[in-house]
C-alpha cells in the first residue's frame, strides 16, 4: 500500500506516517516546514522530521510547497497513492490576519491542488481532509450557555453532546483562517459529491499530542505545557479563561481516519474531537497541568477575546460513531497531559 501524507512533519501528519509505516505501507510525505515561516524557530517541525527518518522503515519526504500545483501533480502522478491524508495547513487564527493571501493559498488552493491531483492521477485513492471546527465560525456561540465557576457549558439538555454537523457554516464570523478552511472544506466535499472521489472531511476540535510543536498562536494545550516547564508567562484572551475546548490525541484521530479509509463515504463530513469527556476550559487545563507537573503557570487575563473564538465548543462525534461504531475516543485528557509533560521534560534533559 502507498500512502501520501501532507504536512507529514506536523502533529497529525507525523502520527499518520508512523502508523502506516508500522503497518508496512510505503509512506510519502510532503512538508516544507512552513510552520517555521509562520511561527519562528519554536514552531519548526524539523526536529520531528529527523525523528521520523530515524524511526521509520519505508518513509520518504519531499520539501514541496502544496501551493506548487505542478509539483504536487507530478508527485501524485509518480507515486499514485491509494490513501491520502491531507493535513498541511496554515493553522492559526491570529497569523491568518497578518497574511490573508498566503493563508488562503495554503488552506484553500493547496487543498484544491491535492484534490485535483488525485482526480487526475489517482482517482481510486481515499482522501482524508483535515478540516476544522472553525468552519462553523462563531455560530456555536449562539447556543444558550450557563457560566459556572471554572467554565461555560451548554444550558439545554439537547446540547449536552455538543455541536454537530448541522451547525451552519455561513452567515457567521469565521476569522480569516476559518474562512480559508471553509473554502477547502466545501471544495473537498464537492470533489466527493460531484466527482465521486472517496473524500472524507474531518472537522477537528483541539487536535493535540506529544508531537505537537505548540506556539502561542496555535496549539494551546501543548504551549501551556511548554510555558509551565520553561516558567514563561501566559496570556488568556477573553471569557475569563472559562472558554471550553475538547482535546483529542493525534492517535485517536488516526484511528478514525483509518476506519474511514476502510469504508469510505464520498463527500461525507464528520466532527472529530475529544467530546465531553475530554473537554476542559483554559483555566481547568492550567489547574490540571499544575497538578500533574508540579509547576506553576503565571498567567494574566485579557478582556480581548480572539475574533471568531468559541466560548464553549464540544465536538458531537455521534455521527461518526454511528457510521463507524468500532471507533471511540480512547486517550483521556489526563493521559494526554502526562505524556506532554514527560516529553517536554525529556527535551530539557537532552539540551
Query: Tell me: the pLDDT tens digits for 235-246?
Result: 999 999 999 999
Tell me the average pLDDT of the chain: 94
- 33-72 pLDDT, tens digit per residue, is 998 888 888 788 898 999 999 999 999 999 999 999 999 9
> How does strand 145-147 pair with strand 152-154?
antiparallel
Select from 178, 2, 163 the least CA-distant residue to 76: 2
| Cα–Cα separations (whole angstroms), residue 1 to 20, 27, 261 | 9, 8, 12
Residue 194 has pLDDT above 80, yes or no: yes
What is this structure's pTM? 0.94
The reported pLDDT for the residue numbered 213 is 64
Contact 150, 283 (CB under 8 A): yes
pLDDT of 155 over the 60 cut = yes
Contact 90, 102 (CB under 8 A): yes
The pLDDT of 169-191, averaged and rounded, is 97
Instruction: Give residue 93's pLDDT.
Output: 82
pLDDT of residue 25: 98
Phi, psi of 329 (to 5 degrees): -70, 125
Taking residues 140-151, what's their average pLDDT? 98
Structural domains in the chain, CATH included, are 2-350 (3.40.50.720)
Residue 343 contacts by C-beta under 8 Å, 6 or more apart in sequence? 210
- 3-class DSSP assignment, residue 198: strand
Q: What is the pLDDT of residue 351?
A: 58
pLDDT recorded at residue 182: 98
Q: How confident is the model at residue 214 (pLDDT cuts 50, 70, 90)?
A: low
Helix (H, G, I), strand (E, B) or coil at 159: helix
| Per-residue pLDDT tens digits for 295-350 | 999 999 999 888 778 999 999 999 999 999 999 999 999 999 999 999 888 776 66
Phi, psi of 64 (to 5 degrees): -90, 140
pLDDT at position 218 over 70:
no
* 123: confidence class by pLDDT, cuts 50, 70, 90: very high
Beta strands in 31-184 (DSSP E): 59-62, 83-86, 126-132, 145-147, 152-154
Percent of the chain with pLDDT over 90: 85
**Cell numbers representing residue 232 in the block:** 514563561
- The confidence score (pLDDT) of residue 344 equals 83
Within 10 angstroms of residue 133's Cβ, the number of other Cβ atoms is 25
The whole-number pLDDT of residue 152 equals 98
Q: What's the pLDDT at 41?
A: 86
Give the 3-state secondary structure of residue 330: coil
Contact 61, 29 (CB under 8 A): yes
Amino acid at each position: 500500500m502507498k500512502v501520501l501524507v501532507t504536512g507529514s512533519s506536523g502533529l497529525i501528519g507525523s502520527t499518520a506516517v508512523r502508523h502506516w509505516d508500522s503497518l508496512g505501507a510505503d509512506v510519502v510525505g510532503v512538508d516544507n516546514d512552513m510552520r517555521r515561516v509562520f511561527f519562528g524557530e519554536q514552531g519548526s517541525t524539523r526536529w520531528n522530521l529527523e525523528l521520523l527518518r530515524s524511526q521509520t522503515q519505508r518513509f520518504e519526504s519531499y520539501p514541496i510547497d502544496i501551493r506548487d500545483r505542478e509539483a504536487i501533480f507530478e508527485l501524485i502522478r509518480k507515486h499514485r497513492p491509494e490513501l491520502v491524508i491531507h493535513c498541511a495547513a496554515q493553522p492559526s487564527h491570529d497569523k491568518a490576519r497578518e497574511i490573508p493571501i498566503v493563508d488562503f493559498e495554503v488552506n484553500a488552493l493547496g487543498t484544491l491542488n491535492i484534490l485535483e491531483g488525485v482526480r487526475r492521477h489517482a482517482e481510486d485513492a481515499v482522501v482524508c481532509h483535515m478540516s476544522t471546527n472553525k468552519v462553523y465560525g462563531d455560530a456555536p456561540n449562539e447556543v444558550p450557555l450557563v457560566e459556572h465557576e471554572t467554565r461555560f457549558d451548554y444550558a439545554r439538555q439537547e446540547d449536552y453532546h455538543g455541536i454537530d454537523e448541522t451547525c451552519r457554516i455561513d452567515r457567521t464570523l469565521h476569522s480569516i483562517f476559518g474562512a480559508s478552511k471553509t473554502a477547502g472544506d466545501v471544495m473537498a466535499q464537492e470533489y466527493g459529491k460531484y466527482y465521486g472521489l472517496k473524500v472524507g472531511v474531518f472537522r477537528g476540535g483541539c487536535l493535540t499530542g506529544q508531537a505537537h510543536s505548540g506556539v502561542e498562536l496555535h496549539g494551546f494545550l501543548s504551549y501551556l505545557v511548554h510555558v509551565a516547564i520553561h516558567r514563561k508567562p501566559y496570556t488568556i484572551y477573553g471569557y475569563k479563561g472559562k472558554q471550553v475546548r475538547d482535546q483529542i490525541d493525534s492517535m485517536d484521530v488516526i484511528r478514525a481516519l483509518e476506519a474511514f479509509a476502510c469504508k469510505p463515504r464520498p463527500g461525507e463530513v464528520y466532527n472529530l474531537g475529544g467530546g465531553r469527556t475530554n473537554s476542559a476550559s483554559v483555566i481547568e487545563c492550567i489547574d490540571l497541568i499544575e497538578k500533574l507537573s508540579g509547576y506553576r503557570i503565571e498567567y494574566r487575563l485579557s478582556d480581548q477575546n480572539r475574533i471568531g473564538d468559541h466560548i464553549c465548543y464540544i465536538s458531537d462525534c455521534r455521527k461518526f460513531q454511528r457510521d463507524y461504531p468500532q471507533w471511540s475516543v480512547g486517550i483521556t485528557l489526563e493521559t494526554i497531559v502526562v505524556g506532554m509533560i514527560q516529553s517536554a521534560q525529556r527535551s530539557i534533559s537532552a539540551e
